[in-house]
Structure 1
Amino acid sequence: MQGLRNPEKRGVPSRTPQGRGMSVTQPFRYAQGREPVERQMVFDGKSGKLFCDCAIKSMMIKRLGFELLIGGCTLGIMEEPNRPDDPNILWKIFSSLKLTLALLIVLAIGSVFGTLIPQQESAMELAHKLSPGLARLFSSFQLFDLYHSMWFRFIIALLAANLIVCSINRFPASLRRFRGQPSPERPKLFANLAPQMAFALNRDLEEVSNNTSAYFRERYKRVRSATTAQGEHYLVGERGRCANFGVYLVHLSVLLILLGGLVGSIFGFEAFVNVPEGATVEKVRLRKTRAPRRLPFAVRCDKFSLDFYPNGTPKEYRSDLSFLVDGKVAHRGVLLVNHPITFKGITFYQASYGTIAGNMGRLRIASKNGVEDSSFEAQLGKTYDLPGGHAKFEVVDIRSNFMGMGPAVQVQVRAPSGRNPGIWLFQNQEKIRRRFPGIFEKFPQLNPAAFEPFVFSLEKIESRYYTGLQVSKDPGVFIVWTGFFMIVVGLFVTFFMSHRRIWIRISKSPQGVRVEVAGIASRNKVGFAKELDRFRDKLQDYLLEAPPSQAETA
């Protein structure tokens, strides 16, 4: 079988330790200048099975560096150092990668339930369709409000603790790599260098060394140099040291996102309120518990307008809102669908609209004494004289749908005799009479002729719009957005940046001066090999274009 070629091809030394994998043909290296000798393995049935068994056993999960991407959260699982057993069993458990995988699996399963099962208000319809036992089971596990359940928050807290402990365990090694000063003198890197990574120049050694150092320092940071007793010059430079911390930036961003969600869940709220046109409210009703909650300011709906498409479908809801602090307007804004307004950390969304009874109603009063009928535009809360001036009446309540029988007003008669009946007048009086014969005579409070000799009737009531507002406060939203921004930066650093180090050796050769280039990268070895090729070509062109020294010219 054909043997493997030089694994350190193109100047990138192989760093695969023994045991990470096996090849069918394994070269044995001897001293420099000797040809490698290859040992052939006959791949028959028995030896093939043995080879596969050894290869599988050698692929230990703890020695693999990989990135686990689940649910948008990237956790860098790095190589665990071989160290004696930690006496702190709790710390050992929380630093376990198995715990990370188990928690992520539980969160993924919980998220599936939270996606498939309607949550909060939407869950009521499903709960009525389920059997009582199954509904109690779902409720006991808080599956109808899963993302606010205690067990879901507990799993998130465990994941955060696991992430923190894993990061603390591995951070010192990354810090050492960041602070470490690579030694310029690394002859082993050049022992099996690919031929194309070296070139010769017919120049002076010191001149080539100085020019190479100047070129190198312009393009790489922390360049260090050394000269051996044999007159060989070594240079080392590096880039992307911060790539060692990319995974920790991702970890921190995940923690911030979890923290922001937890802060919003605990200290935030979701509520709703209906504000009639022209009315002012200071309280909202919590969506989950229906309990009232006072706002630190008042909200007034100055105007509500509604536009329709030609087919009658609503086109746009618009609410002109004013926010009042201590009775004074502090802010005004136009609220539209998908264009919320935020005031003092509380966000208002246009959610719905509807109509309610206004403050005006048209009443007709007839008299059995032959007095001419009269009509009134009666306003809520005002007092009016009855025909003849013997009594007064007041409209004390207006309802758009009272007792399921349609629009109605309540009239309170005030007579000198002390007979002051309160009467409910319905707009659909004749329909109600046909549906419920004798209802008005049976119940005096519904009888329009209860105050003789007058007969009251309701012609219509004024209706007005109300705007339905969804009210939300989430103090953790800024933390979440910060975490999302950081996770993008962290993922970019983790996947597209690497810690790259380049070594250059300059030595005498029969052709004059020999320049060799080698390097090591923490990831993306293929891209780094191309970078080394470009660096070598540009360095060679730079040195060839540099003017020769005076000594060489002489």
Structure 2
Amino acid sequence: MKSLLKLFSSVKLAIVLLIIITSTSLIGTLIPQQRSPSEYAAQFGQLANLLNRFQITDLYHSLWFLALLFLFALNILICTLTRFPAKFRKAFQPKLIKDKKNILVLKIKDSLGKNWGLAKTKEELKRELSSRHYRLKEEVEENKAFLLARKRTLGLFGSDFVHLGLLIILAGGIISGFGGFRKNLTLSEGDTLDIPNAEFKLRLDKFETEYYPDGNVRDWKSTLTVIENEKPILSKIIEVNHPLSYRGFVFYQSSYGWDWTNTSVGIWVKKRKDPSFLRKIDITVGEKVSLEGENIQISFIQFIPDFILNEKNEAATRSLQPRNPAAFIEGWQEEEKIFSGWIFSQFPDFSRIHSEKETDLSFELKNFKASQYSGIEAAKDPGVNIIWLGCTLLMIGLACAFYWPSREIKIILEETQGKTGVIAGGIASKNREDFQSEFDKIMTSLRRLR
């Protein structure tokens, strides 16, 4: 039990856990969280399975990450509790120093003699210390007096406020991990979706993309309406860094894209032996249209925005951006398929049409069109207010530790034959040069008194 207590009260363990948590959080920042399996497969390939298996794709809600937070919180708690009693006694039950040796070993110290009695020397010293906002504790024994002057005692607990703030932040993180969620929603204009764990719906009324003059995306804007009990409650235009908040849920504009499952394309059909032959057809995925003047029907099976062949030599998309658009089509004569294959927008000469029967037809993918969707991130974070409370305590603790450090002056007065000797030493947790200057001014002021 003692060895376990020693382990969890170790600063080394805190550093190791902090490094691990920071490193894993960095991974969670670099790898998009809570996306669809298809997005991970498109971006990471076979590595996507490994990321899902170890919950890297939902890292902040994974049990192992929450366990790390719990261990770190336990480490901080035990460290604080083992050190707090001594600090409490020092702050509220200080002991007076009665042995000169304990003062003479201090780095900041001084001594002087006054041609006064013990009582007057003590009163003048107390007046000087009080003017500098020191609080005093004293004890008199025969011809000796022992004084302890202190100020900024709250600075002693700066690290404890920091630890308490961290504990509250970790508690908020654990609460958010178990009770919160983030989900990416995909909405096209006019779509209405039920929000998970909520009693309202969200409708996308309008989505627009703004561009710079050079063609790069400037901003995305979504007009969202909250619907509760089949009635619109609230409407707001959201954009990046300007979310919609409602009933503890926050909706962020996170991305945009195209609904490639319902793509419409324009295909030009030509004959190699007849340059004057040209037929233009517009067709949507899943449709079958007749080719004018020919006993052939064209069927549009699949559209891929960024065509590649994967390790298994299968057609796949490298991304969801239209960098290498391709359409898979089939040709039918009544119930018989006579050709099939891929045609490419950017590389028409590389069309891969496999004919079951000899045909003079060639195909070119001239244009394509898909409706845009808005990517909305829905988030509920029940621990966010707790985290803000922890951050506030953390900042208070840092301010106390660095800008309000405790100062302590220990003094022994001894009267001999009507004269009083003064031995004083000081301790400061921070800013020792500044404290040394204040200490010297106090002793100089006492020397000048007549």
> TM bucket by the smaller chain?
0.5 to 0.7
- Stretches of structure 1 that go unaligned for 5 or more consecutive residues are 1-86, 285-292, 358-398, 411-423, 444-461, 545-554
* Contact 1:241–1:498 (8 Å) recurs in 2: yes
Task: Letter of the 2:163 partner, please give it.
Answer: H
Q: Is the 8 A contact 1:185 1:226 kept in 2?
A: no
**C-alpha deviation, 1:173, in angstroms:** 1.8
Rounded to whole Å, the distance in 2 between the matches of 1:158 and 1:307 is 47
On the 8 A contact 2:264/2:370 being kept in 1, the answer is no
Give yes or no for the alignment of 1:241 onto 2:153: yes
2:162 matches 1:283: no
Matched to 1:321, the amino acid is L
- Distance in 2 of aligned mates of 1:141 and 1:301: 34
C-alpha deviation, 1:304, in angstroms: 3.4
Structure 1 residue 525: deviation in Å? 4.1
SS at structure 2 position matched to 1:324? strand
1:309 maps to a residue whose letter is Y
Q: Distance in 2 between matches of 1:227 and 1:515?
A: 14
C-alpha distance in 2 between matches for 1:199 and 1:406: 102
- Give deviations 1:136-181, integer Å, cap 9, x for gaps: 6665544555444333322332222232223222222222222213
Q: Which residue pairs with 1:165 in the alignment?
A: 78
Aligned to 1:395: none
Query: What letter is aligned with 2:264?
Result: N
Evaluate the alpha carbon distance shift between residue 403 and residue 144 of structure 1 in structure 2; reply closer, same or farther with a 3 A threshold. farther
Q: Is the alpha carbon distance of 1:339 and 1:219 closer, same or farther for their aligned partners in structure 2, counting shifts above 3 Å?
A: same
CA displacement, residues 301-333 of structure 1 (integer Å, 9 cap, x when unaligned):
344344332233333322232223323333232
- Which position in structure 2 is the counterpart of 1:338? 241
Map residues 366-385 of structure 1 onto 2, 5 A cutoff: none
Amino acid at match of 1:336: E
Quick one: which of 124, 131, 149 aligns to 2:62?
149
Distance 1:432 1:530 in 2: 101
Greater RCO, CA 8 A, separation 6+: 2
Q: TM-score, normalised by structure 1?
A: 0.55
1:482 aligns to 2:389 (yes or no): yes
Counterpart in 2 of 1:379?
A: none
Deviation at 1:517, TM superposition (A): 3.4
SS in 1 for 2:215: coil
What are the residue-to-residue correspondences of 1:501-516 with 2, within 5 Å? 501-506=408-413, 515-516=422-423
Aligned pair 1:217/2:130, yes or no? yes
Q: CA deviation at 1:238?
A: 0.8
Instruction: Give the letter aligned to residue 481 of structure 1.
Output: W
1:507–1:274 CA distance, 2 compared to 1 (3 A): same
Provide the residue aligned with 2:91 in structure 1: 178
Amino acid at match of 2:76: L
CA drift at 1:223: 0.9
Secondary structure of the residue aligned to 1:339 is coil
Percent identity between matched residues is 30
- CA spacing shift, 1:339–1:165, aligned 2, 3 Å: same
Higher strand content, 1 or 2: 2
Asked if 2 retains the 8 angstrom alpha-carbon contact of 1:500 and 1:522, the reply is yes
Bigger mean CA deviation after superposition, 306-315 or 506-515: 506-515
Query: After the TM superposition, which residues 14-163 of structure 1 pair with which residues of structure 2 at under 5 Å, given as runs?
Result: 90-97=4-11, 99-100=13-14, 102-104=16-18, 106-107=20-21, 110=24, 121=35, 123-125=40-42, 127-129=44-46, 140-143=53-56, 145-163=58-76
| RMSD value, Cα | 4.5
Whichever residue aligns with residue 150 of structure 2, its letter is: E
Contact 1:504/1:515 (8 A) holds in 2: yes
User: Which residues of structure 2 form unaligned runs of 5+?
Assistant: 268-280, 300-329, 336-368
Length, aligned pairs only: 373
**8 Å contact kept, 2:103–2:410:** no
* Deviation at residue 540 of structure 1 after TM alignment: 4.8
3-state SS, counterpart of residue 310 of structure 1: coil
Change (3 A) 1:439 1:400: same
